[in-house]
Structure 1
Amino acid sequence: MNPSRLLMLFLTINVINYVDRQVLSGVFPLLKEHFLLSDTALGLLGSAFMITYSLTSIPFGAWSDRWMPHKVAAIGVAVWSLATVSSALAWSFASLFIFRALIGVGEAAYVSTAGTILSNAYPERKRSGVLGLFNLGMPIGGALGVVLGGWLGATFGWQWAFFLVGVPGLILAYRAWRLPLPKQPTAEKHEKFSIRDLFRLLKNKPYLYTCLGYAGISFAFGAIVLFVPTFFERSFGYSLEKATLLAGGLQVGAGLLGAPIGGYIADFWQKRNGRGRAYTLILSMALSAIFLWGGLMFESFVCFFFSAFFMLWHVGVASALVFDVTDKAIWNTAAALALFVMHFLGDIPSPVIVGFISDQTSLFTAFSLLPIPMLLASFFFWKAGSYLHKRPAI
């Protein structure tokens, strides 16, 4: 299949992926009122998705290394879309928690395979750029999810918000299933999954440090994306529609600029220095932390924008770094384990922690602590880069 058409299909699916994921954030105030929830409980709804997403990513990654990754991805898209539609039927906090958890199962199957399919379709020198374009689904879909959730929820009710954003994924699942892609030839020598694959990956120090850096990004980014509409509503006094519109605009604007620019800079730097991708991540996370503190101290929307802009440099670059430091034959497994570590240490605990701190003090105080994991991410990427050769491969 033509690589450009493949990229467009997977980018479209990724947009829907993040719409379904972030629609929850747009209806947070409505869910809080309807089910009488605390901020900690709202954080748990965000974590429900990430718990199953992390726990099932490794089995799906190992499976796709041994079967047809695009069919594994198609199954995942169908599962998460059905779970999103079912969320409209939630009758209690517990039932909504279960439906959100099922969304994580479906998305794990897709995310642990899509990046490797595209990496196999394009040459290595274009990897950061291609994955950066693919991961534009994060800011575009995330912004659409927040905005649509806020608008549909305020206009028709939170139930319709879940239902309407879940339907398109079912059509895209069928398109992914029908892709004329063969089984990965690199998986033939790994017919049986072994737990040794995981231990071997964890003994790979640049890979481990990359995963820890990814976790630092995930901790901060997961909590910010989930709570920023509520933050704007409470701290700046905006209505739900305006708060979600601003949050969505911030995310999509910063993402459309940050993701491709970060990918271009990383690929450019990598051609001249074998540590270029790691250096790009070190710089971006440090700058993002500084601008977030500035945004909180001066109540500056411009600083919030630049924090998101530099944060989203990592889109595609961190994924490419994972592939750079691992064996191609187990890329899906490596990507899946990286997802597990990233979420288990990152955006699984962070929404609950931020919600708890908010309940005890304020959401402002909780946000003011988030630059710390960003700076830790910068440190871990520096450690990962120290194991790589300065000279790029010829």
Structure 2
Amino acid sequence: MVTKEEDCLPPATEPSRCYSPPSTTPLAELETIRSLEIMESSFLSPVWLLVIFCIINLLNYMDRGAIASNGVNGSTKSCNDKGKCTPATGIQGHYNLSNFEDGVLSSSFMVGLLIASPIFASLAKSFNPFRLIGVGLTVWTIAVLGCGSSFAFWFIVLCRMFVGVGEASFISLAAPFIDDNAPHKQRAAWLGLFYMCIPSGVALGYVYGGYVGKHFSWRYAFWGEAVLMAPFAVLGFLMKPLQLKGFPSTDSVEVMASSLGAEISKNNNHLQAGNEIKHDEVEVSIEIGRSSYANAVWKSITQFARDMKVLCKERVFVVNVLGYVAYNFVIGAYSYWGPKAGYNIYKMKNADMIFGAVTIICGIAGTLSGGFILDHVTSTIPNAFKLLSGATFLGATCCFTAFTLKSLYGFVALFAIGELLVFATQAPVNYVCLHCVEPSLRPLSMAISTVAIHIFGDVPSSPLVGIVQDHIDSWRKTALILTSVLFLAAAIWFIGMFINIVDRFNVEAESENPRNRQEQSIMVMNP
């Protein structure tokens, strides 16, 4: 019997290839060593990893903005009383869709995203997470090509579902990679840079989709996105995969595969004794294989259930996500109803442009500033909750006051300050999601957070606000009621400051000792 550790020992004539830090090595040094080991396995530096992930995130959200743009989404043919008609444009015009059918396109994307996010997070325990991102980006690229080549409404809906599936792998796994490789004192800032691509990507999508759809065709917009994403999908398979903290290394997987292959070969030799394979022995072998596959699936399901139980028992995670749900409830409704409310309250002539510009500028500036501020005051979970609660409360106060003003200019100025403060929460809230659980649970934490904020946040908020407006028939009052939910988010995050908090990022490093390492070693059978 040879353990992995023994296998790492070099022959007397070769220099040592394996480094095992002494038990007295400080945690900070252990973390640095691991970060170096992660990056040595690939030609990517941490900065290049961040740049690539930001570009991918930008493309993901550019697609969301493009399909919502007038150039790609379009409209059906319409005629006025004088008989003057506007031609059908975009997807809606091409397939003559009703507004309900047009709305199904965005919903279908969300279905794929929400179903696949926890699945990819669970698969990260069995497959290399970096390779899973490559798989997801490949699915995304093929699905976007399908959108551009669609021949029927049902087909483009199906393709949009798979676009969501492809994006799910990246959403669940990219942030943990950034958290692993970012400099210790700049983690929140790096997360801020990554999430800054959300508002900027959507804004870029509006411009890109509008231009391409107007000058070429809505199909070319999708094909262009696929061409831009294809190199990153290929990169996910060609380069040596990066390792994610809390998950088995590629070498460990290779050793297990070798061990499994040796065991299978040994069994085959027994079955082929006398150079003849009996029919009943083959059937037994097939049955054993099916049983092993069923056991593997069952183990994955039970492991997912155990992980979910641990996640739901983590009070910091629950409080953080509840606050995030309330926050996203407001942001989702703002993005949908904001221009209409602004037009009706202040008679804005260019409500779309005004709200769009305020959201883009404040979204980028606020997201970046939130990450840098958290790093400046030292990125810890308690400080993150303080920033979340304080920024949300001040932002809610500004937005609430803005909707009470009668002056358009006063409204725009105060609402911009409010949105700047509200968007400062993006880096801190995701920092808490990553650090309140053990490293091996980070992908699942990000996935469940994504599922929760959409199912209970922005998805139901738009129709619920519509119902309130139908009953009240006053956009100012409806906007004030909606904005008051931000105070609830601030209160929930304020509670998080008083919970017994443990940053679990190094929990596995703290528990490492020779006995644990020996138990985790992979045993390889001698021939």
Q: Report the TM-score range of the alignment, normalised by the length of the smaller protein.
A: 0.7 to 0.9
Distance change (3 Å), C-alpha of 1:203 and 1:147 = same
Distance change (3 Å), C-alpha of 1:390 and 1:296 = same
Aligned to 1:284: 391
Q: Hey, which of these two has a bigger chunk of helix by percent?
A: 1
Q: How does 1:128-147 map to 2 (within 5 A)?
A: 128-147=188-207
Return the structure number with greater relative CO, CA threshold 8 A, min gap 6.
1
SS at match of 2:458: coil
Unaligned runs of 5+ residues in structure 2 are 1-43, 78-92, 250-295, 507-527
Q: Pick from 426, 432, 437: which aligns with 1:326?
A: 437
Q: What are the Cα deviations for residues 354-381 of structure 1, in whole angstroms up to 9, with x where unaligned? A: 5666788687776554324322222221
Aligned AA (2:496): A
Q: How does 1:48-63 map to 2 (within 5 A)?
A: 48-63=108-123
Distance 1:63 1:11 in 2: 23
Aligned AA (1:221): I
- 1:180 is the counterpart of 2:255: no
Aligned-residue offset at 1:214? 1.6
- 1:208 is the counterpart of 2:269: no
Aligned AA (2:375): D
- TM-score between both structures, scaled by the size of structure 2: 0.65
Distance change (3 Å), C-alpha of 1:32 and 1:206 = farther
| Partners of 2:176 and 2:244 within 8 A in 1 | no
Aligned to 1:217: 327
Q: How does 1:39-54 map to 2 (within 5 A)?
A: 43-54=103-114
Q: How does 1:79-228 map to 2 (within 5 A)?
A: 79-89=139-149, 94-184=154-244, 186-188=246-248, 193=300, 194=303, 195-226=305-336, 228=338
Distance 1:75 1:347 in 2: 28
Aligned-residue offset at 1:306? 2.4
Aligned to 2:427: 316
Distance 1:291 1:179 in 2: 48
Q: Aligned residues, how many?
A: 387
Distance change (3 Å), C-alpha of 1:160 and 1:354 = farther
Distance 2:328 2:238 in 1: 32
Distance 2:489 2:51 in 1: 30
- 1:302 is the counterpart of 2:413: yes
| Partners of 1:84 and 1:103 within 8 A in 2 | yes
Aligned-residue offset at 1:290? 3.0
Q: Pick from 218, 232, 249: which aligns with 2:357?
A: 249
| Partners of 2:130 and 2:243 within 8 A in 1 | no
Q: Which has the larger radius of gyration?
A: 2
Distance change (3 Å), C-alpha of 1:62 and 1:200 = same
Q: Percent identity?
A: 23
Aligned to 1:30: 74
Computed over aligned residues only, the root mean square deviation of the Cα atoms, in angstroms, reads: 3.4
Aligned-residue offset at 1:143? 1.2
- 1:383 is the counterpart of 2:483: no
Q: What are the Cα deviations for residues 179-219 of structure 1, in whole angstroms up to 9, with x where unaligned? A: 43344352239x96411110111011111111111222222
- 1:15 is the counterpart of 2:15: no
Distance 1:157 1:114 in 2: 32
Aligned-residue offset at 1:292? 3.1
Aligned to 2:49: 6
Distance 2:215 2:394 in 1: 38
Unaligned runs of 5+ residues in structure 1 are none
Aligned to 1:342: 453
| Partners of 1:46 and 1:351 within 8 A in 2 | no
